[in-house]
């Protein structure tokens, strides 16, 4: 497995080795250059704790998260009795930051990752900031979404194969709402093993199924291939302002150990988590089941409203079948320009939206629709789209 050169030398210096040996023998070293004011009685009264730098996030918070993840995976019948190790968890402020860290970990400037299209353009934007290239693989729609394995294979075996470091899997994808299906998962794992490519699995929408899908499963905890699973409070609590995300590292033991050694250096440089946030993590984790259920009921209810409305109106607007998530894609006649439709919605209905080309859809005639609004507002949004399409036609 390749790790980038920007995470430092593979050989620690003599001082670091001596410090490590001293700690292994139980010796607590004083520091001549200790510049931590909390150790010398200088912390403010509202934050009286002594600060201890824990690059992966405070141990107590990671332990609470590990216990939550262990309970959650048992609900799906996966890895029953196997506890999630808190030492395999990294706390940070968002999955966006997690992408950034993992690109630093795996990619040297000019290296590439494979990412899905259609898909949310955030990954490509972050990759650009990290001087990393993105190579798309396709999701195809034929009554339901499927992952085009041929385009993944083409990327991993093509002329740029020696610079590809990771395969991004979004489970379920946004905005297509498509999960990684069991047969796709097996083929992808075999391809990644063959080419020594890590998996980055973004699973923030996993707990919001919209249609029954036998065999859907998280990639978090996958042990056959070095895997970095991303999740956080933004979607699980419906609280993007909570600013807690995490990376769960799994895979063959030797690769996990090496990955964590390099990832620790990145985490130590950034030290992202505040005690003001993590001290409340245990109670926030306990709220996830209730919040997930509440949001899930909303999005599934609105999906049913959408289907009924489109049927009743006999509209030429149709729904591309989603499997999970908060967003869906609508299809309208491609003779209508997507920008023209959005401009009409802005000018006549006071609404704006994201056209299909924003997600790199394969052609014209798509619009993303959120399932989160309250039902009355959601009905108005759907009615506005249908009305605007009919007006243009």
* pTM beyond cutoff 0.85: yes
Domain CATH number, residue 124: 3.40.640.10
Does residue 64 sit in the same domain as residue 24? yes
Q: In whole angstroms, give the CA distance from residue 373 to residue 298.
A: 8
Does residue 245 sit in the same domain as residue 129? yes
| Cα radius of gyration rounded to whole Å, the chain | 23
- Two tokens, residue 56: 């992966």
Q: Is 386 helix (H, G, I), strand (E, B) or coil?
A: helix
- Kindly give the confidence (pLDDT) of every residue in the chain, 393 residues in length, as a single tens digit, with 9 standing for 90 and above: 888 878 766 666 788 788 888 888 889 888 887 777 877 787 788 777 777 778 899 999 999 999 999 998 877 656 556 899 999 999 999 999 999 999 999 999 999 999 999 999 999 999 999 999 999 999 999 999 999 999 999 999 988 889 999 999 999 999 999 999 999 999 999 999 999 999 999 999 999 999 877 888 999 999 999 999 999 999 999 998 888 999 999 999 999 999 999 999 999 999 878 877 888 899 999 999 999 999 999 999 999 999 999 998 888 999 999 999 999 999 999 999 999 999 999 999 999 999 999 999 989 999 999 999 999 999 999 999 999 999 999
**What is the H or E stretch that residue 189 is in?**
helix 182-195
Shortest CA distance to 87 belongs to which of 236, 244, 259, 212?
259
Write down the pLDDT at residue 79.
58
Beta-strand ranges (E) seen in 20-177 are 89-92, 112-117, 133-141, 145-147, 164-170
Q: In whole angstroms, give the CA distance from residue 57 to residue 263.
A: 13
Shortest CA distance to 205 belongs to which of 176, 225, 243?
176
Q: In whole angstroms, give the CA distance from residue 39 to residue 19.
A: 20
Parallel/antiparallel/unpaired status of strands 245-250 and 227-232? antiparallel
- 254, 286, 318 — which closes off a domain? 286
Write down the pLDDT at residue 15.
83
Sign of the C-alpha dihedral computed for residues 202, 203, 208 and 214 taken in this order: positive
Q: Which residues pair with 14 in a beta bridge?
A: none
Q: In whole angstroms, give the CA distance from residue 347 to residue 345.
A: 6
Residue 286, CA distances (Å) to 12, 64, 201 in order: 40, 10, 24
Write down the pLDDT at residue 373.
94
Task: List the domain range (segments joined by +) for residue 324.
Answer: 289-392
Q: Do the beta carbons of residue 43 and residue 61 sit within 8 Å? A: no
- Two tokens, residue 194: 């063959």
Does residue 187 sit in the same domain as residue 329? no
- 286, 307, 335 — which closes off a domain? 286
Residue 46, CA distances (Å) to 53, 93, 275, 332, 368 in order: 19, 22, 12, 56, 45
Domain CATH number, residue 371: 3.90.1150.10
Q: Do the beta carbons of residue 243 and residue 277 sit within 8 Å? A: yes
Does residue 144 sit in the same domain as residue 248? yes
Does residue 362 sit in the same domain as residue 232? no
Does residue 191 sit in the same domain as residue 125? yes
Does residue 278 sit in the same domain as residue 345? no
Number of separate domains in the chain: 2
Does residue 331 sit in the same domain as residue 282? no
- Two tokens, residue 235: 């979607």
Does residue 23 sit in the same domain as residue 93? yes
Shortest CA distance to 148 belongs to which of 206, 187, 192, 202?
187
Does residue 332 sit in the same domain as residue 194? no
Does residue 116 sit in the same domain as residue 242? yes
Does residue 53 sit in the same domain as residue 94? yes
């Amino acid at each position: 497995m390749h790790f980038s050169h920007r995470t430092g030398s593979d050989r620690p210096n003599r001082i670091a080795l001596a410090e490590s040996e001293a700690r292994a023998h139980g010796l607590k070293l004083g520091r001549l250059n200790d510049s931590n004011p909390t150790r010398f009685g200088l912390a403010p009264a509202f934050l009286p704790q002594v600060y201890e730098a824990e690059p992966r996030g405070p141990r107590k918070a990671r332990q609470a998260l590990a216990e939550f993840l262990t309970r959650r995976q048992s609900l799906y019948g996966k890895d029953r009795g196997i506890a999630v190790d808190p030492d395999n968890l990294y706390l940070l402020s968002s999955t966006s930051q997690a992408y950034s860290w993992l690109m630093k970990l795996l990619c040297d400037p000019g290296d590439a990752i494979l990412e899905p299209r259609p898909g949310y353009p955030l990954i490509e934007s972050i990759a650009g900031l990290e001087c990393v290239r993105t190579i798309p693989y396709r999701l195809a729609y034929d009554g339901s979404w499927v992952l085009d394995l041929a385009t993944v294979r083409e990327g991993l075996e093509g002329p740029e194969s020696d610079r590809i470091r990771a395969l991004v899997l979004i489970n379920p994808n946004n905005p297509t709402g498509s999960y990684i299906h069991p047969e796709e998962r097996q083929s992808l794992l075999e391809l990644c093993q063959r080419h020594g490519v890590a998996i980055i699995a973004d699973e923030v929408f996993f707990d919001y199924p919209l249609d029954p899908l036998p065999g859907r499963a998280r990639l978090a905890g996958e042990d056959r291939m070095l895997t970095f699973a991303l999740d956080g409070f933004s979607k699980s609590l419906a609280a993007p302002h909570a600013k807690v995300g995490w990376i769960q590292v799994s895979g063959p033991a030797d690769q996990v150990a090496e990955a964590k050694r390099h990832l620790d250096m990145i985490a130590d440089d950034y030290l992202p988590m505040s005690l003001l946030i993590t001290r409340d993590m245990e109670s926030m984790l306990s709220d996830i089941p209730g919040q997930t259920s509440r949001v899930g009921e909303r999005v599934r209810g609105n999906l049913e409203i959408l289907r009924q409305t489109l049927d009743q109106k006999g509209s030429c607007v149709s729904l591309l079948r989603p499997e999970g998530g908060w967003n869906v894609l609508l299809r309208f006649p491609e003779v209508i320009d997507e920008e023209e439709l959005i401009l009409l919605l802005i000018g006549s209905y006071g609404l704006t939206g994201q056209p299909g080309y924003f997600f790199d859809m394969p052609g014209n005639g798509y619009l993303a629709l959120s399932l989160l609004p309250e039902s009355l507002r959601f009905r108005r949004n759907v009615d506005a789209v249908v009305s605007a399409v009919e007006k243009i036609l």
